[in-house]
Amino acid sequence: MKKPRISIHWFRRDLRLEDNHGLFRALSEHGDVLPLFIFDTNILDRLEDKADRRVDFIHRTLSEMRERIQSAGGALLVEIGAPEAVWARLMDRFEITAVTANHDHEPYALERDTRIGAMLEEKGIPFTTYKDISIFERNEVLKDDGGPYTVFTPYMRKWRSLFRPEMLDPFPSESSLSRFWRTPELDLPTLEIIGFERTDLVVPRKTLTDSLLADYQENRNIPALDGTSRMSTHLRFGTVSVRELFRRSMAKSTTYTNELIWREFFMQVLWHFPHPERAFKPAYDNIPWRADEAGFKAWCEGRTGYPLVDAGMRELNATGLMHNRVRMVVASFLTKHLLIDWRWGEAYFAQKLLDLELSSNNGGWQWASGSGCDAAPYFRVFNPKLQQERFDPELNYVKNWVPEYGSANYAPPLVVHEMARKRAIETYKLGLADRTGKIEPQQQLFN
């Protein structure tokens, strides 16, 4: 039997039909496009909790995309497995003329695409990938001497100087949906077949309004208000186009636009320094972190006795998201008050965050711990009580997540702020002064 002759667009973190660069190129240049998504068991097998909101989010999104593709006469192919095995099966089943995808610069994704690209090339199938998730990527924004930026503000200035409005022109993929390969519908495997469960996921809103942008600078730091855009999850999975967000925000809010540029800043940091497991400033790997399992557990569960910290951790556990201001507070608390390695916090966030972006999560944790690019100086220790008084004075956020706050049932503080602050500064100072090697934990101050 003759194999169907098709091209494939491989969806990964670009789960939308509108303004999708790679999909647009597939539809306009190749035609007979079979859209593909792979539930990658290399990734899924490492997820401990089978009620994972991210898998649920992807599944729900695919379900919606599938409907739209089917009403355009096409079909969405959803496979489960390791990418090599899946692609081997696809090459047996189809005569593939071309494969498109959008860039993904995380270390695993780069390695995966290199392997799959080689596999396809061996059979003479062109595998072309496109820039889609950022305005600038890789080494497109460099210093005049050719090196990468490691400080945000000059990066942002250069970003803006290189920016041209036409970079935001949409790729109208949604107007060529008739060029999908016309075939009867294909099954979408259930979450159960994939090995996961339906969750309590609440899909964040997808609209970025002018009024939110107008008040963004003022409201974004108040966790009790709905003052942040909630776009992080959509940016993570590509359910919105980042070009669309820049189109909406550039003239309306410099602060918001800079947040989008921060995202690209951290992406290029990871691209140029692909060692997220190391402290960006090596001296910070000499800090004698406390291996405090009990303290870490209390932090994870929101039982530190510091209400803003506990509220944040409970928000994370309950929803998979946490307000940005509170992310800074809980990260400062873990790395400074508890002197626990930022990698522990990063790993916990990676396990829980619906909007998990490796570059931003790593960049943010290293920022909070002081070890990162352009990070907070080591002696800057957030005072969780003061942060609460400043950003949640009415306790609206705290009481929402920590209803027992103020009663006898609420946990006493895990550490006394004044002691913890002194201990953090002293311990950091000690670690940073020692550039020769690791200080043994016995040498810790204040035990």
Partner DNA sequence: TTTTGAGTTGTTCGA
Partner DNA sequence: GTCGAACAACTCAAA
Chain residues binding DNA by CB under 7 A are 143-145, 147, 149-155, 157-158, 221, 258-259, 262, 324-325, 328, 364, 367, 374, 376-377, 379-383, 386-387, 390, 417-418, 421, 425, 429
Nearer to DNA, 97 or 324 (CB): 324
Question: How far apart are CB 109 and DNA at their closest, in Å?
Answer: 23
- List C-alpha distances in Å: 305 to 58, 315, 320, 429: 36, 15, 21, 27
**What does DSSP say about strands 95-102 and 77-81: parallel, antiparallel, or unpaired?**
unpaired
Question: How far apart are CB 17 and DNA at their closest, in Å?
Answer: 30
Question: How far apart are CB 405 and DNA at their closest, in Å?
Answer: 19
Nearer to DNA, 250 or 430 (CB): 430
Nearer to DNA, 178 or 217 (CB): 217
Nearer to DNA, 48 or 144 (CB): 144
Nearer to DNA, 155 or 342 (CB): 155
The H or E element containing residue 36 is strand 33-40
User: d(Cα 50, Cα 41) in Å, to the nearest integer?
Assistant: 13
Question: How far apart are CB 354 and DNA at their closest, in Å?
Answer: 18
Token pair for 400: 């929402």
β partners of residue 117: none
Question: How far apart are CB 205 and DNA at their closest, in Å?
Answer: 21
Question: How far apart are CB 146 and DNA at their closest, in Å?
Answer: 10
Nearer to DNA, 74 or 276 (CB): 276
- Residue 190: strand, helix, or coil: coil
Question: How far apart are CB 149 and DNA at their closest, in Å?
Answer: 4
| Phi-psi region at 380: left, alpha or beta (left = phi > 0; alpha = psi -120 to 50) | beta
- Residue 361: strand, helix, or coil: helix
Nearer to DNA, 69 or 270 (CB): 270
Nearer to DNA, 3 or 157 (CB): 157
Q: What is the DSSP letter of 280?
A: S
DSSP H helical ranges for 128-249: 152-162, 191-194, 210-219, 232-237, 242-249
Nearer to DNA, 62 or 338 (CB): 338
Q: Which amino acid is at 84?
A: E
Question: How far apart are CB 212 and DNA at their closest, in Å?
Answer: 17
Token pair for 309: 């910290």
- List C-alpha distances in Å: 79 to 40, 90, 101, 335: 8, 10, 16, 41
Question: How far apart are CB 408 and DNA at their closest, in Å?
Answer: 26
Residue 260: HSE in the Cβ half-sphere, 13 Å Cα cutoff:
26
Per-residue b/e over 40-75, b at no fewer than 16 CB within 10 Å? Answer: bbebbeeeeeeebbbbbbbbebbeebbeebbebebb
Q: What is the DSSP letter of 310?
A: H
- List C-alpha distances in Å: 346 to 121, 185, 268: 37, 41, 19
Nearer to DNA, 87 or 262 (CB): 262
Question: How far apart are CB 89 and DNA at their closest, in Å?
Answer: 43
Given a contact cutoff of 8 angstroms between Cβ atoms, the answer to whether 376 and 368 are in contact is yes
